[in-house]
Structure 1
């Protein structure tokens, strides 16, 4: 169900966010901020998904972690082969969309919503070994989040910001042909964004592809809502992260910031406005910038620029692909 207002706050969600933040906070204080931030990245997907009502649905969180980790690692394996990496974005998008159409299973929808974007993130990994370490953290974060959800009362799973996910129960699910068109829409936006990232020679060529695939939805209204939400959230999150990086804060400050970010982000995860990217951007950019030689301004410009590129491509693909598919269908019918 869509929340009645743009921002929807739940104290239960905020409390769960604090519990999810505990390993990151303890590690930040006991080891170092970068390791703590890396652990926080691992629980971000689970924090965004909320808590389902049934224990069976809550167990899906483990599948989310495995799916996210495998997608990240797969992207890293082809990151050194730009042509193959770009072609795979399109092929995987159409293939997963077809799987959603024929099965309708929750994991297939999560693969479309989360797996494909994290494949894009894997294109930015320094090496497969680095991505494998990140994937391990995501799986560990998912195991911990699943254990927390089993002990958590009730359910506060958020609605999809900007509208229901493609193929979700309770939504006006696209037909099989519609899902294939949507797969082509997502794939085209992600592939062009990845190609642009590789061509520009940026440090993280997959960021634009990730943004394009996270924003994409078959419904034009949902697509526009997510485009505005992600663009503004990433811009604001990048500014906050740049301020944090410029201070190079002590471990205690980083630990407190992580607790606040995960608590507030999880508390607001059910909002109709797409605000969660603000919190994920602060965590990810802080991980890249704290204790690193690269300036905060570098990460801010790259993150924001590639996000806006991905958003623009998602909007363009969402306008072009359905119309082109309709013309082809009309021609074949005639």
Structure 2
């Protein structure tokens, strides 16, 4: 499964980079794929659909910020990393699998409404990024899709959690940059960040964005192409925009389509998503 996760992640980043030079096509692609993935989730036999919806679509948004060559390299590294992780896992003895109760099928109409909801949020985030001509036009899109969940209470909690985590992570990155660390110190910071992200992966609090923001902004600031303030403002502002779009879409679409804001699929997934690092 780890290899499949890496493949889905890498492929969607590459797809995002390929449509990024064509803003209109990129916006339409995000909306269409979000709707398609959500509808497929309604079919219990589509085992990859939830993974594509919850991980693949946000990473497609991430790919909008990268040129194809960079995205291809990132995708290859994700795939190789997942293969490496799988090989390392073979060292440990097998453990009995966790028996999970079968989930009730979610009505296709409910998932269609949810797909339209996140499709609008993600597409609007991408359109905003392209319109503002920011360095990373996919950040607002990715934030909107990472925050979005069928359960409204969970969506609200994730929006607040992501905003706070990104703000604190961006602040920490600026503090690190202020000391002009050597390569050795920066490598140590990266190691601590990765360990922290892995160690808190099961947390009920949405803290992963703190670590990813600290890592990404530290690397961007280290390139010295722009000031730390520039990257801080862009990351935080686009995260706020993505959160606002996710909440707005969750408020409007269910009312227009007469679908409850807290759906059956939301209640089924809320417990697992509380501890999810995505």
Would the TM-score normalized by the shorter structure come out above 0.5? yes
- Once residues 226 and 171 of structure 2 are traced to their aligned partners in structure 1, the CA distance between those partners, rounded to angstroms, is 16
Q: 1:233 matched to which residue of 2?
A: 165
- Once residues 173 and 103 of structure 1 are traced to their aligned partners in structure 2, the CA distance between those partners, rounded to angstroms, is 7
Q: What secondary structure does 1:312 align onto?
A: helix
Q: 2:14 matched to which residue of 1?
A: 73
Q: 1:149 matched to which residue of 2?
A: 89
Structure 2 vs 1, CA of residues 107 and 248 (structure 1 numbering), >3 Å: closer, same or farther? farther
- Once residues 64 and 115 of structure 1 are traced to their aligned partners in structure 2, the CA distance between those partners, rounded to angstroms, is 9
Q: C-alpha displacement at 1:147, in angstroms? A: 2.3
Q: 1:131 matched to which residue of 2?
A: 71
Q: C-alpha displacement at 1:105, in angstroms? A: 4.0
Structure 1, unpaired ranges of 5+: 1-59, 158-167, 328-334
Structure 2, unpaired ranges of 5+: 260-278
- Once residues 154 and 287 of structure 1 are traced to their aligned partners in structure 2, the CA distance between those partners, rounded to angstroms, is 38
Q: 2:5 matched to which residue of 1?
A: 64
Q: C-alpha displacement at 1:289, in angstroms? A: 1.9
Q: 1:52 matched to which residue of 2?
A: none
- Once residues 198 and 221 of structure 1 are traced to their aligned partners in structure 2, the CA distance between those partners, rounded to angstroms, is 30
Output aligned runs, 1:183-222, within 5 Å: 183-222=115-154
- Once residues 170 and 314 of structure 1 are traced to their aligned partners in structure 2, the CA distance between those partners, rounded to angstroms, is 29
Structure 2 vs 1, CA of residues 285 and 154 (structure 1 numbering), >3 Å: closer, same or farther? farther
Measured on the aligned residues, the alpha-carbon RMSD in Å equals: 2.0
After TM superposition, the score normalised by the length of structure 1 is 0.72
Structure 2 vs 1, CA of residues 251 and 62 (structure 1 numbering), >3 Å: closer, same or farther? same
Structure 2 vs 1, CA of residues 265 and 197 (structure 1 numbering), >3 Å: closer, same or farther? same
Higher relative contact order (CA 8 A, sep 6+): 1
Asked if the contact 1:208–1:307 (Cα under 8 Å) also holds between the matched residues in 2, the reply is yes
Q: C-alpha displacement at 1:172, in angstroms? A: 6.7
Structure 2 vs 1, CA of residues 102 and 174 (structure 1 numbering), >3 Å: closer, same or farther? closer
Q: 1:314 matched to which residue of 2?
A: 246
The alignment of Structure 1 onto Structure 2 pairs a total of residues equal to: 256
Q: C-alpha displacement at 1:248, in angstroms? A: 3.0
Asked if the contact 1:248–1:291 (Cα under 8 Å) also holds between the matched residues in 2, the reply is no
Q: C-alpha displacement at 1:151, in angstroms? A: 3.0
Q: C-alpha displacement at 1:224, in angstroms? A: 0.7
Q: C-alpha displacement at 1:177, in angstroms? A: 1.3
1:122 alignment partner, one of 63, 66, 70: 63
- Once residues 80 and 325 of structure 1 are traced to their aligned partners in structure 2, the CA distance between those partners, rounded to angstroms, is 33
Q: 2:178 matched to which residue of 1?
A: 246
- Once residues 102 and 147 of structure 2 are traced to their aligned partners in structure 1, the CA distance between those partners, rounded to angstroms, is 20
- Once residues 169 and 324 of structure 1 are traced to their aligned partners in structure 2, the CA distance between those partners, rounded to angstroms, is 33
Q: What secondary structure does 2:257 align onto?
A: helix
